Structure 1
Amino acid sequence: MPILTGRKKELIIRGGHNIDPKIIEEAMHAHPAVQMAAAVGRPDAKAGELPVLYYQGDAIQEEELSSFAATHIAERAAIPKAFIRLDALPVTGVGKIHKVTLNMMEIERTIRAEAEAKGIAIRELEVLQDNHRGVFAHLRLASNRDQATMRHALGLYAFSVDYQT
């Protein structure tokens, strides 16, 4: 069993399995195209979260990064399902990667993907962080019917959503 070195709230929880993002990040830093890396959980209706890697560095085919990850990350469940290149990773005032921003981006991607799959137009979507509620989404849709559909679809996820029509 791997030793957890990261902060508990940064753990990626995939189907009840705790994944330390550091094992992903350390392995991927060994790839010459990756200058900075941050692993976060992508919300998943069945598994809870799936690991994804945000990285800063050279543009490279996702297949090459996936192959590299498969041979350098010992824990099969920790192999990222997506590799997202950003020109610059979000950082805090002291230069540490701001993972909350990346988590918020993943929640937004998930909501947009669910809406697109259901043919629902989003009027407004904002993912926010609150000291009391944590990260949550504010979602505005066109109709009550759309809201009921999205409420059902997004009810399978661990993040909370405020709805408006």
Structure 2
Amino acid sequence: MKNVADVNEYIFSAAKERTTKKSGRFQKGYTLLELVVTLSILSFLTVSMVSFGFGEKEKIAENAFNAECEKILYTLLQYQNEAIMDGCPRKIRFLDQGMQVNWTKDSINHQTVIPVATFRFFGAYTGLSSLKLYGSGTVSTGGTVKLTSPSGSVRKIIIQPGNGRIYLDEP
């Protein structure tokens, strides 16, 4: 029988041979099949991301349209509140480039244009017609202003006569 040191040396050298020996199954690199599968998965993910991205563009435009409609509504309500606070009526006209607001306070004429980029105004108070917001909170006449986006979406600002309520319809 061999001594223990010889046995240990034999086991150690056999293990060393197995770890350094290159066999066909453990070579470095990728097989052609692995590369094809990886490329097909990447292609599928790329096509999926691009196709979903095109739908997002329309959704972003719609969100911008809705946000700008709400901006016009809140601006109208702000000017109505200011008319109530200072007693000076505001004259509102809806033009192609935006909403024009005129008022006179302390013998000084003020004019502000609130620009719009995502829609056009149609309906009451466009062109030469105007809406007056009185200091009592009422309005000169009731009516509807349609806000039409380039894609054809329509929202409406409704102005009620009598109580002067101004609101935006739901999309």
Q: TM-score, normalised by structure 1?
A: 0.25
Q: Which is higher, the Rg of structure 1 or of structure 2?
A: 2
TM-score normalised by length of structure 2: 0.24
